[in-house]
A and B are shown apart, each in its own frame.
Chain A
Amino acid sequence: MPDDLREGRIVIVGASLAGLRAAETLREEGFTGSLTVIGDEPHPPYDRPPLSKQVLLGRMAADSAALPMRRDPDAEWRLGVRATGLDPVGKQVLLADGESVTYDRLLIATGTRARPWPNADEAALDGVFTLRTRDDAGRLTKRLAAGPRRVLVIGGGFTGSEIASACRERGIEVTLAERGPGPLVGALGGTLSMLAAGLQRAHGVDLRCGVTVTALRGNGRFTGADLSDGSRIDADVCVVAMGAVRNTEWLAEAGLAAGPRGVACDAGCRAFNMYGIVTDDVFVAGDAARFPHPLFEYQMLSLEHWGNAVTQAEVAAHNMVSPEPARRPHLAVPVFWSSQFGLNIKSVGVPTFSDQVVIAQGSLDERRLVAVYGYRGRITAAVTVDMAKWLEYYQGLIETAAPFPPGPGAADGRPLVAAFPVPSNVPDPKGLFHGPTVALTGHLPDRRLTVVRPAD
């Protein structure tokens, strides 16, 4: 490795949000060496959140969501080629086209992909979709524009709920099937899941909870699905929204702490190897990363949050070009947003890291509220529904480990709306169709020494 960390060869694998922001930050921090960004999608970096919102609503084209650059990172972009392996000794990234790229320092930013329907034949039926890429969104939007009789959405997480919302807004009949007790329950717990369920029904979603989809039917073309309660849904489009899978298979032989829950790294974004020893030349950022957070008892967090991809990429890039004493930890409090059924839902902290919840402002009936989550007597998260201006205030309480429940008048001088916290009822994610977008994945990096079985 060259003595000056601002020189040498840096390779970034994953040309999306985290990869782009890291590339820009490297240059902002004075990196003058060679920079290569490898991405398996043929497109330059684009933004995903609009895909399940504006794009499905027909308000913008799926191919118009390119991400703006903060500055041109002067990188070599190798797009449309997949990294297939990593040789940590020879310091090379192996590519699907047979070439390899040598690095001094590497950033892994390969994110996640949509979890496919487990039965490959059924998943191949015409009319069965997943939603992760702009090509997925383009195909699905076209199908929605053709006016299907009914859309079946499998999974009531954020993505599934946003898809159902877009369908209803377009006047399309939609059934949403969720194995757990309600939509969004995996991310927000029981109380807000009740609100989400009421919201969906009020907007005409045929919501089926506590049921499993047992089979997708069709002869070449999707025609419907069987549910575990014996009922059958006739539909001509099916969107499988069963959460995300980390793109870590290409690291199977790399000797890193990489598995289905992501690549484990320290607070400085340095990857752990499979013995739990931290590396100094391999960094991770974005949805692919799994990192410890002091506010949540140093449990490893896996996030699928836009904001985290940006801030973690910035910290990783800074640390890649900075000597030890100047390195920074990634301590940002997780923030997430979703818009569905005309509501703006935002969360700060980790709602699933909780045992109780209290409505601190607003109410379920008004569909305007702040729910505050606590764990063993301190505030660990807050969720706002159409009250985003309050998010920052509660973020401060989380950062200072303020006592839960928040005192009367904590927010705006008014007493708490509901004085009594109730259990937050966060279910075991195993019983859900949707994955939470924040997952607590245990304490130790070696806990992820699991065998990776490619899903397809």
Chain B
Amino acid sequence: MQIVVDLTRCQGYAQCVFLAPEVFELHGEEALLYNPAVPDDQLDRVRQAATACPVQAILLGKEVSAGAR
């Protein structure tokens, strides 16, 4: 599964960082960095983060499958 964070909306509340620190991290005070490719063992935590995000900025989903025609 992949994620993308809408950083135009993200306000750096860092809920995601607390819930899934292996995927999300704050760089400095409020710049959010994250790993778009979610490891399987982090999926539950990332789902919780997506739900908890106060501005609903985290989108989780499958990528377009390669070779699709």
Contacts and interface: CB of A to CB of B under 8 A. Distances in A.
Bind each other: yes
B64 A20 contact: yes
Contacts of A44: 63-66, 68
Given A342-B28, A344-B12, A67 B33 contact: no
A66 B6 contact: no
B33 to A, nearest CB: 5
B4 A67 contact: yes
B48 to A, nearest CB: 17
Given A47-B4, A49-B7, A76-B69, A66 B29 contact: no
B37 A66 contact: yes
Contacts of B11: 388-389, 391
Q: How large is the interface on A (under 10, 10 to 19, 20 to 34, 35 or more residues)?
A: 35 or more
A54 interface: yes
Contacts of B68: 44, 75-77
Contacts of B36: 47, 50, 60, 64-66, 68
Contacts of B69: 76-78
B22 to A, nearest CB: 12
B12 A70 contact: no
B2 interface: yes
Contacts of A57: 33
B33 A69 contact: no
A331 interface: no
A342 B31 contact: yes
A301 to B, nearest CB: 16
B60 interface: yes
Interface string B1-34: 1111011111110000000000000011111111
Interface in A35-73: 43-45, 47, 49-50, 53-54, 57, 59-61, 64-72
A389 B9 CA distance: 10
Contacts of A307: 6, 8-9
Interface residues of B, number: 32
A335 B6 CA distance: 11
Nearest to A76: B69
B8 A343 contact: no
Contacts of A70: 59, 61
Given A49-B7, A65-B36, A386 B30 contact: yes
Nearest to A50: B36
A5 interface: no
Contact of A386 (B2, B6, B28, B60): B28
A346 B8 CA distance: 8
Contact of B12 (A66, A71, A72, A389): A389
B33 A54 contact: yes
Nearest to B8: A307
Given A44-B66, A68-B61, A337-B7, A59 B35 contact: yes
A78 B64 CA distance: 12
Contacts of A67: 2, 4, 63-64
Given A64-B35, A66-B64, A307-B9, 4 more contacts: A44-B63, A68-B59, A69-B62, A71-B61
14 contacts: A43-B66, A44-B66, A45-B63, A54-B34, A67-B64, A68-B2, A68-B4, A69-B61, A306-B7, A307-B6, A339-B27, A342-B28, A386-B28, A389-B11
Interface of A: 15, 20, 43-45, 47, 49-50, 53-54, 57, 59-61, 64-72, 75-78, 305-307, 310, 335-337, 339, 342-344, 346, 368, 386, 388-389, 391
Q: List the 7 closest pairs (A to B, CB-CB), nearest first.
A: A342-B28, A68-B61, A339-B31, A66-B63, A307-B8, A44-B64, A64-B37
